[in-house]
Structures are given as structure tokens and as C-alpha cells.
């Protein structure tokens, strides 16, 4: 996944930086909140149940957006798109970790560690000497 951002107009919400649509932001926030309520770890079955409830439009959650703030609303999101556009990118970025042995999803700090490593890579690049390119003579 590619994250493009404007450092002069950086939003306060990490989900606005990571996800391209408001609907994806809302569903990702609901997932993170659900996992936090379950002790930051859920099983494969619980994840499937969450995705199914979203797909059927029976998941009731609190959305922290102006028209819905403080209200419980039913949220609907396609199950296949949930896995493709929400869960898989969150796993690949290190926001959520999946333990194959225990079949558990858990919230992870790998995203933060990766961002710090990327910053260090940039600092190392700044320290490298300039390359010299010479035109070939014909």
C-alpha cells in the first residue's frame, strides 16, 4: 500500500492518512475499536463474525463523525472488500498482526517501528556523498 501525504496539511487522524475513502476510515476505526474492546486480540472466527455483521448491515457501532457523533448506527460494508481493502492492508502495514499458529489477530506496533526505520533510511541517504556522472565522449 502506498501512503501519500502533504506534510503541510497533515490531518490529525491516522486513518485519514492511510485510507482513501471516508467509508474505509470508518470501518477501520470500528475494527480497531472492536479489537480494543476484546483485549487487543481476536480469533479468526471473531474476525469473520465481524466481517459478516458488516456485510449483512447488522453491526451496530459508534461513529466519531459529525453527523453521527455519539449515536449508535448500523454499519454496512461488503465482506470481500473488508478483507481486501481494510484488513489485508492493515496487516501488510503492521497495524494488525496475524499469528498463524494460534489463529489470532492482534493490534501491533510494527507500523510505528517501520516508520522510524524509514526515517532512519532517509537520514542515511542524506549522509551519502553525491554521485558523479560524466558525459561519455563520442
Distance of alpha carbon 60 from alpha carbon 82, whole angstroms = 16
What is the percent of the chain with per-residue pLDDT over 90, rounded to a whole number?
78
Tell me how crowded residue 32 is: count the other CB atoms within 10 A of its CB.
Answer: 17
How many domains are contained in the chain?
A: 1
Distance of alpha carbon 10 from alpha carbon 138, whole angstroms = 50
Is the pLDDT reported for residue 107 higher than 90?
Answer: yes
- Asked if residue 135 is part of any domain, the answer here is no
* Residue range 79-95: mean pLDDT, rounded: 96
Q: What is the pLDDT of residue 4?
A: 83
Q: What is the pLDDT of residue 40?
A: 96
Is the pLDDT reported for residue 118 higher than 80?
Answer: yes
Domain that holds residue 88: 7-127
Tens digits of residue pLDDT in 22-51: 999 999 999 999 999 999 999 999 999 999
Strand partners, 72: 62
- Asked if residue 134 is part of any domain, the answer here is no
Helices 44-56 & 22-37 angle (0-180, nearest 10): 140
Tens digits of residue pLDDT in 46-83: 999 999 999 999 999 888 888 888 888 999 999 999 99
Burial of 31 (0-12, 13-18, 19+ CB in 10 A): buried
- Asked if residue 92 is part of any domain, the answer here is yes
- Asked if residue 132 is part of any domain, the answer here is no
> Given pLDDT bands bounded at 50, 70 and 90, which one contains residue 85?
very high
CATH number of the domain residue 37 falls in: 1.10.10
Distance of alpha carbon 32 from alpha carbon 40, whole angstroms = 8
Is the pLDDT reported for residue 136 higher than 90?
Answer: no
- Asked if residue 109 is part of any domain, the answer here is yes
Amino acid at each position: 500500500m502506498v501512503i501519500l501525504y502533504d506534510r503541510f496539511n497533515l490531518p490529525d487522524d491516522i486513518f485519514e492518512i492511510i485510507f482513501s475513502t471516508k467509508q474505509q476510515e470508518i470501518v477501520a476505526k470500528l475494527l480497531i475499536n472492536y479489537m480494543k474492546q476484546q483485549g487487543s486480540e481476536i480469533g479468526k472466527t471473531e474476525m469473520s463474525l465481524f466481517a459478516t455483521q458488516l456485510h449483512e448491515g447488522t453491526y451496530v457501532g459508534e461513529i466519531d463523525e459529525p453527523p453521527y457523533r455519539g449515536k449508535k448506527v448500523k454499519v454496512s460494508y461488503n465482506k470481500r472488500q473488508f478483507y481486501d481493502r481494510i484488513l489485508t492492508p492493515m496487516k501488510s502495514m503492521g497495524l494488525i498482526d496475524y499469528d498463524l499458529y494460534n489463529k489470532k489477530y492482534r493490534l501491533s506496533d510494527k507500523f510505528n517501528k517501520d516508520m522510524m526505520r524509514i526515517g532512519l533510511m532517509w537520514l542515511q541517504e542524506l549522509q551519502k556523498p553525491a554521485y558523479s556522472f560524466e558525459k561519455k565522449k563520442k
